[in-house]
Amino acid sequence: MKIAVTGADGFLGWHLRVRAFATRPDLEIVPVAQADWPRLAELVSGVDAVIHIAGINRDTDEVVRDGNIALARDLVAAVGSARVPVVYANSIQVGNGSPYALGKAGAAEVLAEACAAWGTGFTDVRLPNLFGEHGRPAYNSFVATFVAAAAAGETPGSIADRPIGLLHAQGAAQALLDGLATSGVVSPEPHETSVAQVWETLAEFREIYRGADVPDVTDPFRLDLFNTYRAALFPAAYPLSLAPRSDQRGRLVESIRSHGAGGQVFVSTTNSGFTRGEHFHLRKIERFVVLAGKAEIALRKMCTDEVVSFVVSGDDPVAIDMPTMWTHNITALDGEATTLFWTNELYDPDAPDTYWQNVRL
């Protein structure tokens, strides 16, 4: 199937593209970024369905309300006689009377009417508040704002506590992909928490996560939030310094102190000039510590050309934790390199959370 994704350069659009690459090899994604909007008719020509994520979140009340409806009308006009199903990234805010809610509801009406006239499916995915890696502070969600503050060693100016339901962007992406096979209104289940609890958890992560220490991430929501926090730290906060201890017997390096589940540790050697890795993860934490020799660790943010690399040595051991949705590798330099690898979960061959993609294209 060939699927056009509008808003492909935005927060949720990026998460959906990564998840589709990892889990839906049967799909060919046609990304439609904001700059591509004038070419919308060309880009949606020949597709089998459209996932419509593009929207306006921040602007004047009038622009937010009318702009979201206008985007839906543009899409209907661009699809025209192609008559394809549409999956729409809507919001649970529909019905609260805000300009944003009115705009999202109006867009849903435009798309639903068009699909009814075309005789195709329309899936209205009502998404709760989202969070996840690489969200924009003061734009995508309060979680992104809190994460940026925690990463900067700051405290939010004010925390107006209230209960709130949160869904990780990968959960939202899965709901949208699932919408290709259904129709009607879909409401993914959020994790129920509170604004204050989110900040308290991030403050806990900031206190624990340094050197060898990793906080308890046995709870799936805590893992999602920790991965979101780690993404905000990368690459400026890495490598993580470790503290070798030496005496007449030799040297000891604490490489991992997990405050939750033990996970899995293994050590491997890599011959000079050879590379290991070339994969990424959607949820798993993976730590590299070179214990002997010299190596380059390289990472690329998925769906981009952004590559970050670190040259590390066993003479001065450091830890680098691979951010989720960054493909990564390690190459031995100037001889054999011995590396310790740790992941926060045991390897499951039926659900390995390992997706192959070269760092350098």
What's the rounded Cα separation, in Å, for the pair 333 and 78? 52
Fold category of 2-199 in CATH: Rossmann fold (3.40.50)
For residues 191-211, average pLDDT: 97
pLDDT value at position 59? Answer: 87
CB-CB contact of 16 with 176 (8 Å): yes
Q: Which two tokens stand for residue 206?
A: 């900031």
Does the pLDDT of residue 335 top 80, yes or no? yes
pLDDT value at position 157? Answer: 80
| pLDDT confidence band for 244 (50 / 70 / 90) | confident
DSSP string covering 177-226: HHGGG--EEE-PPPEEEEHHHHHHHHHHHHHH-BTTEE----SHHHHHHH
pLDDT value at position 159? Answer: 87
Task: Give 63's strand partners.
Answer: none
Does the pLDDT of residue 158 top 80, yes or no? no
For residues 302-331, average pLDDT: 97
Average pLDDT, the chain: 96
pLDDT value at position 248? Answer: 92
Domain parsing of the chain, residue ranges: 2-199, 240-356
pLDDT value at position 271? Answer: 98
What pTM was computed for the model?
0.96
pLDDT value at position 112? Answer: 98
pLDDT value at position 262? Answer: 82
The model's pLDDT over 50-86, given as tens digits with 9 standing for 90+, comes to 999 999 988 899 999 999 999 999 999 999 989 999 9
CB-CB contact of 165 with 128 (8 Å): yes
Taking CA 305 as the corner, what is the angle to CA 303 and CA 306, rounded to the nearest 5 degrees? 105
Q: Does domain 240-356 have CATH number 3.30.450.30?
A: no
Does the pLDDT of residue 342 top 90, yes or no? yes
